[in-house]
Structure 1
Amino acid sequence: MSKPPPSSGNKSSLAQSRLRDGRAYSLLDMRALTLCLLLLAAAQVQVSSGLRCYHCESSGSCTVETCLPGQELCRTTVYNNRWRGGQELEVVLRGCAVTGKDNSSMSYRTSQEIIMLKEIVCDFDLCNQPDPRPSPTFPGARTLECESCASSDQSCERGRTLTLRCPEPTDQCLERISQSSLEVGPLDERYVRGCGSFPDCPGPVGFHNNDTFLFLRCCNHSQCISGPIMKLSDYSLNGLQCHSCEGNSTHGCSPEETAITACQGPMNRCFEATGTHKHWGPGYTVRGCVAPAWCEAPHLTATFFDLVEPQIFCCFTSECNSATRDANPRRSRAGPRPLPTSLTLTLLLLLLTMNLTPAKEA
């Protein structure tokens, strides 16, 4: 027996039900699509909302770059070289800078030239825009007068210092020593005396391990730094022993390459710093002995070792900076140790911690 055909009223109810279901499904689909679009937009904003800075090389027009993660400052770096005969060269570089930096400068002279390095940082979009006004030149007015020499002409090693009138009223007299047996090639940057301005510049502060000796001091009156250049051998042993290495967990700071160093002079803390090296990537580690002031000054570690946002650990007892103190040992890819560069580029990198990451168009 066949079913009776549905009445027109039943057909209308069925159609309305299907219409309501279709609208419900369409509404759910639209809500899901909207949610996906919002999540995608949020992700895009998170990726592309970095600081924007002007990027200018030594020649050519400026572009705009979007800074990478960890770069939350714009910088302007000025290199000025004045020769004895009156010739002058100025190079201005602009770009992004790593978080935590501050304004810094250093000036020194040799028998034939005066060199000024200066970096200014700021923290909002396009704040490092080119300035049409000329940069200030030597000498400064009513500033300190400091003894000055450099390894480029061996004047520091030979005790043949000159005097330099500091270009900036905020400058102090400064001495910087950087010695390392890991370096291969010219070591022009080993000794520098002159004028400078560093964040909270201490005096004196130092680091050493079995390969490297670093020393920095500043003072606030004319010719307050004089006499022979400081040597690590001038300091006596202080009784502390610390682990010594430079590199990463597979090359340079592996267990086989880590040694013990006997600490000297005011460098009476064991020290470890780990961060991202500008050329050799993450997981780069430095261990040795430091003066207490070094533990409170991350910018010194970033400056001398080219580390981005270093994590610093200091302790008081012998061999307390061993890698075994970590519950989860750091892992990183192997890589060669960095080689030194010329005096000018090395000072730009080490003193001012420049970031020359290629620009990305905004």
Structure 2
Amino acid sequence: MELLISLLFVCALISKAYPLQCNQCIPTGVGSCTQTQETCPAFQTRCGSVTVASYMGSFKLAEVNMKSCAAPAECVSGSVNFGVSRTTVSTRCCDGNLCNTQNAPALPDGSPNGKQCFTCEGTDCTHTLKCLGSEDRCIKASVKSDGQTVTVKGCVSQTACAGTLNAQLGNTAVDMSCCEGDLCNNARRIGQSVLLLLVSVASIILFH
């Protein structure tokens, strides 16, 4: 018994002495990045690879690959679809030093899944949108920039609505809510969205 306790103690010391290391590659725009190595903080216990693709209608605007340390809650994939624009995030996480050597494969385009949500065309938010792939929730978002607020609506994956994450990029703040049921996003609904990262990264791709 004493030997087992001693071994556990030694393992704990080794774990603290040798924190996780992951490959890091974070592009500043749509270009490539230089891969380096980073030591992860205690709360990021996995290595991750992320592929973000942005679409304007059916046309792919950009695809960006990133690598970094990741917290378990960040190891999710999904998409957000506002009709005129759609962003997909594919994440692959792994355990072990420098294990994130490969890029995560981009999510497939997806086909209509039978669900519908409201979407906006200009200031008219009464149009309907056919959701694609894993998009099984409706979403409403308010984007504030330069003193103006723009409302957008559309479809989103459940993985993007399973918690709370607040995000800001410069002067642009994004506030979202998700709901279940066809066309449920016509009123003020409830449920905070999680994967604001989807919109944040899309903003980086499109506007930086």
TM-score, normalised with respect to structure 1: 0.39
Q: Is the 8 A contact 1:75 1:95 kept in 2?
A: yes
Structure 2 distance, partners of 1:193, 1:75, is: 28
Return the match for 2:49 from 76, 88, 111: 76
Aligned to 2:113: 144
Aligned to 1:245: none
1:66 aligns with 2:39: yes
Identity value in percent? 14
Structure 2 distance, partners of 1:62, 1:73, is: 17
Q: Secondary structure in 1 aligned to 2:97?
A: coil
Return the match for 1:122 from 94, 113, 129: 94
Matched to 1:345, the amino acid is: S
Q: Is the 8 A contact 2:117 2:185 kept in 1?
A: no
Aligned to 1:328: none
Whichever structure has more strand as a proportion of its residues is 2
Q: Is the 8 A contact 2:26 2:67 kept in 1?
A: yes
Aligned residues: 180
Q: Is the 8 A contact 1:106 1:197 kept in 2?
A: no
Q: Is the 8 A contact 2:52 2:89 kept in 1?
A: yes
Structure possessing the higher relative contact order (Cα contacts under 8 Å, 6 or more residues apart): 2
Q: Secondary structure in 2 aligned to 1:216?
A: strand
Structure 2 distance, partners of 1:172, 1:110, is: 12
Q: CA deviation at 1:100?
A: 4.0
Q: Secondary structure in 2 aligned to 1:124?
A: coil
1:110 aligns with 2:83: yes
Aligned to 1:57: 26
Structure 2 distance, partners of 1:104, 1:87, is: 18
Structure 1 distance, partners of 2:73, 2:110, is: 30
- Once the two structures are superposed, the pairs formed by residues 241-256 of structure 1 within 5 Å of their partners are none
Q: Secondary structure in 2 aligned to 1:177?
A: strand
Q: Secondary structure in 2 aligned to 1:57?
A: coil
Structure 1 distance, partners of 2:105, 2:44, is: 27
Structure 2 distance, partners of 1:114, 1:180, is: 16
Q: Is the 8 A contact 2:53 2:89 kept in 1?
A: yes
Q: CA deviation at 1:145?
A: 3.6
Aligned to 1:162: 129
What per-residue deviation string (whole Å, max 9, x for no partner) do you get for residues 322-356 of structure 1? xxxxxxxxxxxxxxxxxxxxx8427789xxxxxxx
Unpaired runs of 5+ in structure 1?
1-41, 203-212, 219-223, 233-290, 295-299, 307-342, 350-362
Distance 1:197 1:50, change over 3 A: farther
Distance 1:304 1:52, change over 3 A: same
Aligned to 2:177: 215
Larger Rg: 1
Q: CA deviation at 1:137?
A: 3.3
TM-score, normalised with respect to structure 2: 0.61
Return the match for 1:196 from 157, 180, 188: 157
Unpaired runs of 5+ in structure 2?
1-10, 164-174
Q: Is the 8 A contact 2:89 2:107 kept in 1?
A: no
1:135 aligns with 2:110: no
Structure 2 distance, partners of 1:346, 1:86, is: 18
